[in-house]
Structure 1
Amino acid sequence: MVKNLVLQTDFGTSDGAVSAMYGVAISVNPSLRIFDLTHDIPQYNIWEGSYRLYQTISYWPEGTVFVSVVDPGVGSDRRSIVIQTNSNHYIVTPDNGTITHIKNKIGVVAARSIDERINRLPFSGESYTFHGRDVYAFTGARLATGVISFEGVGPEIEVNSLVELPIVEANVQNGSAYGNIDILDIRFGNLWTNIDRELFKSLEIEYGDSFEVTIENDTRQIYKNIMTYGRSFADSHLGEPLLYINSLDKIGVALNQGSFAKAYHIEAGQNWKISIRKLSKIIYN
């Protein structure tokens, strides 16, 4: 049975790189269905590549094969791998931290190193700068179409040996929630944190409550203000900030019909920290 193949890269679509990956994959089996996760990962941003996989993978059928190529170390001695997740999906990728969020949030049951003597595009020559085409798209297509099994990828490697980026878990202390700004909702400029709904609710919150929100990059404070917690963007006035639960069941920060990220020059990643402190209600007699 032919499975789906989903591609993610930092290549963009301005040239022929993504099209070449499509061509290689379809050459393996013309009936293969290929989809794009995104090709707009910021260049070399392994963290964002890792997060976008986590954001997306659970909505795809079991057996779907993902190819993720954000590979600043292409041509070096970094490994090329395929992992099998606890949710029975497969990811073909360089071993450079791309599987960080998957391993941390979903789990990896097995991993294999790609044997390029078998799983490399024939006649691809001595090129070592386009593994996305020559190794990953080719191997992913072969796995998705049943030309090879997972065991046919190459030798098994220890899951614990996979490269991971550092992750700091969200936590609650003294009436405040602390976490990271993991990613941006790119088109709308909302901030997506790693503070999940259940952790946030341990603060005994209600819709309409006020919170002091502080955002820092390393040790420099970028933003500090008071905002309310709403069910949706309609719970705030135009241009006002708010806290809300995003589509991944985590706390988001937004401006109603505006870009919070652009307005306050905020980015995402391991160095971007957020704290959310519940304010006491003022009762007027």
Structure 2
Amino acid sequence: MTNSLVIQTDFGLSDGAVSAMYGVAISVDPNLRIFDLTHDIPQYNIWEGSYRLYQTISYWPEGTVFISVVDPGVGSDRRSVVIKTTENQYIVTPDNGTLTHIKDEIGIVAVRIIDESVNRLPKSGESYTFHGRDVYSYTGARLASGVITFEEVGPEVPVDSIIELAKFEPKIDETSVTGTIDILDIRFGNLWTNIDRTLFLQLDIEYGDNFEVTIQNDTRQVYKNIMTYGRSFADSHLGEPLIYVNSLDKLGIAINQGSFAKAYHIETGANWKISLRKVPKVIYN
């Protein structure tokens, strides 16, 4: 273990919920190093919680323990688990779909259900609405500090038993590729798709090629226009749309110094489809 604990929630920072989780963790081991992944996951948005874990986890050292609490089913019969990834990191979380992208994109080698008879904050047994504090922070801190081993979390269950959210796999034909808008680069309003750069390159493309980009929400077309594939925002003029490769090696859609998401009211998830069709370059005489 690295003695590092990385926490993600949909709690925000306007009250004491996150601070209470810190307090529990520090009470387990004052030497723990605690970091925030984000506490701005939209309320109850399990999909975004899943993606933010995937976006972040590979850049942390082996042995790092993550806690993710986006838990609309708190107090129900949904399981509380700790998983070990193929990269030897750990995630403490409700089993409600939060591990979808980790399982699909990174890999899970083992899953254990948290035994709350051992791994639960003392004297919290009658509380059913703050498992982030009472179960996940307590268990995560004990694991990160070495008080317990992964095997002491609780009984092991099959990896295939993990709950997964529905995902749409990208498709390609001779002239086009189709995927989904998985997430937003929130501050800048860029669209991050699930289309890998390597899949896109199978269209035999070059920087500067033009594409007809179509975005649909279920069966309703939201956007359709021609844009250029560039290395970076410097390859487009101010206010122009651009196709680029993002920091996860997947296709992104942006407006140079503008918010594409706000301009066209784009959201994310498996029902937000995007297609890119290669079109001839327009040459003006």
TM-score bracket for this pair, using the shorter chain length = over 0.9
8 Å Cα contact 2:181-2:274 kept in structure 1 = yes
8 Å Cα contact 1:2-1:146 kept in structure 2 = no
Matched, 1:7 2:14: no
Alignment-derived partner of residue 104 in structure 2: 104
Root-mean-square deviation (CA), in Å? Answer: 1.1
Residue 51 of structure 1 and its aligned partner are, at CA, apart by: 0.3
Cα distance in 1 for residues equivalent to 2:67 and 2:43 = 16
Alignment-derived partner of residue 200 in structure 1: 200
Q: Which 4+ stretches in 1 moved above 4 angstroms?
A: 282-285
Could you tell me the TM-score, scaled by structure 1's length? 0.98
Alignment-derived partner of residue 219 in structure 1: 219
Residue 19 of structure 1 and its aligned partner are, at CA, apart by: 0.2
Cα distance in 2 for residues equivalent to 1:201 and 1:63 = 35
Q: Secondary structure at the match of 2:280?
A: coil
Amino acid at match of 2:80: S
Q: Secondary structure at the match of 2:206?
A: coil
Alignment-derived partner of residue 153 in structure 1: 153
8 Å Cα contact 2:253-2:260 kept in structure 1 = yes
Please list every run of 5 or more consecutive structure 1 residues that lacks an aligned counterpart in the other structure: none
Cα distance in 2 for residues equivalent to 1:284 and 1:154 = 68
Cα distance in 1 for residues equivalent to 2:274 and 2:199 = 14
Deviations 1:78-125 (A, max 9, x none): 000000000101000000000000000111000000000000000114
Alignment-derived partner of residue 37 in structure 2: 37
Cα distance in 2 for residues equivalent to 1:232 and 1:284 = 24
Cα distance in 2 for residues equivalent to 1:283 and 1:204 = 20
Amino acid at match of 2:226: I
Deviations 1:221-254 (A, max 9, x none): 0000000011100111110000000000000000
Matched, 1:171 2:168: no
Alignment-derived partner of residue 117 in structure 1: 117
Cα distance in 2 for residues equivalent to 1:282 and 1:256 = 21
Q: Secondary structure at the match of 1:216?
A: strand
Could you tell me the TM-score, scaled by structure 2's length? 0.98
8 Å Cα contact 2:189-2:258 kept in structure 1 = yes
Q: Secondary structure at the match of 1:148?
A: coil
Residue 174 of structure 1 and its aligned partner are, at CA, apart by: 2.9
Alignment-derived partner of residue 72 in structure 2: 72
8 Å Cα contact 1:58-1:87 kept in structure 2 = yes
Cα distance in 1 for residues equivalent to 2:274 and 2:43 = 25
Cα distance in 1 for residues equivalent to 2:190 and 2:282 = 29
Residue 167 of structure 1 and its aligned partner are, at CA, apart by: 1.1
Residue 217 of structure 1 and its aligned partner are, at CA, apart by: 0.5
Deviations 1:233-283 (A, max 9, x none): 011111000000000000000000000000000011111000000002356
Cα distance in 2 for residues equivalent to 1:93 and 1:40 = 17
Deviations 1:125-158 (A, max 9, x none): 4110000000000000000000000000000011
Alignment-derived partner of residue 275 in structure 1: 275
Residue 284 of structure 1 and its aligned partner are, at CA, apart by: 7.3
Q: Secondary structure at the match of 2:269?
A: coil
Residue 9 of structure 1 and its aligned partner are, at CA, apart by: 0.2
8 Å Cα contact 1:120-1:138 kept in structure 2 = yes
Residue 33 of structure 1 and its aligned partner are, at CA, apart by: 0.2
Q: Secondary structure at the match of 1:168?
A: coil
Cα distance in 1 for residues equivalent to 2:150 and 2:120 = 15
Cα distance in 2 for residues equivalent to 1:161 and 1:74 = 19
8 Å Cα contact 1:2-1:32 kept in structure 2 = no
Cα distance in 2 for residues equivalent to 1:13 and 1:284 = 53
Amino acid at match of 2:23: G
Matched, 1:236 2:236: yes
Size of the alignment, in residue pairs?
A: 285
